[in-house]
Amino acid sequence: MTLAIWRRFALLFALTAWLAGCAQNPNTASNSSEAAPQSAACPKGTPEGARCLRGQDSAGAPYLIVLPAQWNRMLVVHAHGGPVLGEPKASRADEDIDRWAITVRAGYAWAGSVFRQGGVAVRSAAEDTERVRRIFVQYVGQPTRTLLHGQSWGANVAAKTAEMYAGPGMRSPYDAVLLSSGVVAGGTRSYDFRLDLRVLYQHLCNNHPRGDEPQYPLWMGLPVGSTLTPAELNARVEDCLATRKPAAQRTPEQARKLKTIVDVLKIPESSVAGHLAWATWHFQDIVQNRTQGRNPFRNDQVRYQGSADDATLNAAVLRYAADPAAVARFAEDADLTGRIAIPVLTVHGINDPTAFVELESAFRQTMQGAGNGARLVQVYSDHNTHSYLSDPTYVALFDALNRWIDRGEKPTPATVAEGCKRAEAVFGVGCKILVNYQPAPLEARVAPRQ
């Protein structure tokens, strides 16, 4: 039996079972506690003719569903980036569909959860992602195909969703996964360099915290009760590093300090302030809300290199040892196992300033370690952006997944590049796929830990 025939048979079987009573399938069951979504005006950027549904799921997560005017009967379930701190706001989904309108323009239905809680909580976000899929099936209908897409931190969420609901031996509700610009090395590895940034910044600038403020271990981000605002932190960064000024307007001391950070941590000047903010409020969320006040990060054995005087630097920076229980707790929520039993396609700009392309090497090792390396294809583009690459790139990636599912044609960077060029005729220019690129190991970018 060919793969295509098998797929059609499996789809017919699934549809028959669903119509007969999908409550017996835990992955597609309608949930009587879920209220029906309501028709709503579509947000800015939604393609013309689309129909939008809004709701809040039983766990309190707002969500948005968008149906194109000409639906291809396929669904893309989207896991958004971030993570966003604070209470969830329905407007976050508006931002996502504005950015990812290409999905609907290409004919796919789109469903995205805002997640029930702000902060670095991967498993609960994965549950919310699956819940919005079930709501779609219950109130819109069973799509012929369901693709799972995660962007940035949402790629961590989507990969975790696939592990939880599309693992070996499971009857998967998803046919394939697309991870774009993903933070996919797992929480306990992806955030290491931000602790490095905190200790290096404090050594050079000594203003986060300032000497006249209460002192605290930097791994906690901020102490409980801190009133520091993002604007205040940005002012401190500007005072020390002048990242927002042209290089010619920086003082020699500012230029020296900024160069040290860039050379040691291998991050662009433009991303220093952003990463420092994440190493402040996201670390605070992780420690206060996820690891019971204990430290999941370490740099006690790290050797920093690239400064004008590495010996002095390494002797001066603050050092921290991680609490094993905190590491285990954080890993259980945010790390990946690679136990995914459906096709996975990733794409990453090689000059991504936010999520290093070397994170993909760690994800490849994870998938291979679980025996699922053959289910993974990784594609790279010559982009220097993080949040979005280009319309024809994503169209080509979805098409490549469909051919993989339908015909068993496993994509390669070359075939994705060809598909991207074809898509340019309809969706505009923007293809920069690199056929032969392979990223270095993560340890080449981030100082290794044991």
Q: pLDDT tens digits for 306-356? A: 999 999 999 999 999 999 999 999 999 999 999 999 999 999 999 999 999
Rounded CA separation 28/416 (Å): 31
Highest mean pLDDT among 10-19, 82-91, 369-378: 369-378
Residue 23 has pLDDT above 60, yes or no: no
Tell me: do 5 and 56 sit in the same domain. no
Judge if 285 and 324 occupy the same domain.
Answer: yes
- Where on the phi/psi map is residue 331: left (φ > 0), alpha (ψ -120 to 50), or beta? alpha
Name the residue range of residue 171's domain: 32-187+334-444
Domain termination site, one of 287, 303, 331 = 331
Q: How confident is the model at residue 32 (pLDDT cuts 50, 70, 90)?
A: low
CA 185 to chain CA centroid, nearest Å: 10
Instruction: Give yes or no: residues 38 and 171 share one domain.
Output: yes
Query: Is residue 95's pLDDT more than 50?
Result: yes
Average per-residue pLDDT for the chain: 93
Helix 252-265 vs helix 230-241: crossing angle, to nearest 10: 110
Q: Does residue 450 lie within any of the structural domains?
A: no
Pairing of strands 51-56, 38-40: antiparallel
Alpha-carbon distance of 412 to 291, in angstroms, equals: 40
In a domain, 449, yes or no: no
* Higher-scoring residue by pLDDT: 15, 27: 27
The per-residue pLDDT for 117 is: 84
pLDDT tens for residues 152-187? 999 999 999 999 999 999 999 999 999 999 999 999
Domain membership of residue 424 (yes or no) is yes
Number of domain units in the chain: 3
Evaluate whether residue 339 is within a structural domain: yes
Domain boundary residue, one of 331, 358, 380: 331
Same domain membership, residue 165 and residue 127: yes
pLDDT above 70 as % of the chain = 93
* Residue pLDDT, tens place only, 217-275: 999 999 999 999 999 999 999 999 999 999 999 999 999 999 999 999 999 999 999 99
> Which of the four pLDDT bands, split at 50, 70 and 90, describes residue 118?
confident
Do residue 147 and residue 275 come from a single domain?
A: no
Q: Are residues 304 and 338 in the same domain?
A: no
- Give the other-Cβ count within 10 Å of 2's Cβ: 9
DSSP 350-413: TT-SSS-TTHHHHHHHHHHHTT-GGGEEEEEES---SS---HHHHHHHHHHHHHHHHH-----H
* 1 has pLDDT over 90: no
Model pTM score:
0.92
When pLDDT is averaged across residues 288-305 and rounded to a whole number, the result is 96
Do 317 and 223 lie in one domain? The reply is yes
pLDDT of 8 higher than 60: no
Q: Is residue 149 part of a domain?
A: yes
Choose among 157, 133, 149, 132: nearest CA to 82.
157
Q: Is the residue at 100 inside a domain?
A: yes
- φ/ψ bin of 38: left (φ > 0), alpha (ψ from -120 to 50), beta (otherwise): beta
The answer to whether residue 134 is domain-embedded is yes
Are 313 and 245 part of one and the same domain? yes
Q: Is residue 415 part of a domain?
A: yes
Helix axes 230-241, 192-205, angle to 10 degrees: 60
Q: Are residues 225 and 319 in the same domain?
A: yes
Mean pLDDT of 429-436: 98
Q: What is the mean pLDDT of residues 70-74?
A: 98
pLDDT tens digits for 371-407?
999 999 999 999 999 999 999 999 999 999 999 999 9
- Tell me the CATH number at 133: 3.40.50.1820
Q: How far apart are CA 38 and CA 53, in angstroms?
A: 5
Q: How far is CA 421 from CA 219, 388, 425, in A?
A: 46, 18, 7
269 with 311, same domain: the answer is yes
Quick one: 183 and 41 in the same domain?
Answer: yes
Asked whether residue 132 falls in the same domain as residue 199, the answer is no
Confidence of residue 33 (pLDDT cuts 50, 70, 90): confident
Domain-terminating residue out of 312, 331, 350:
331
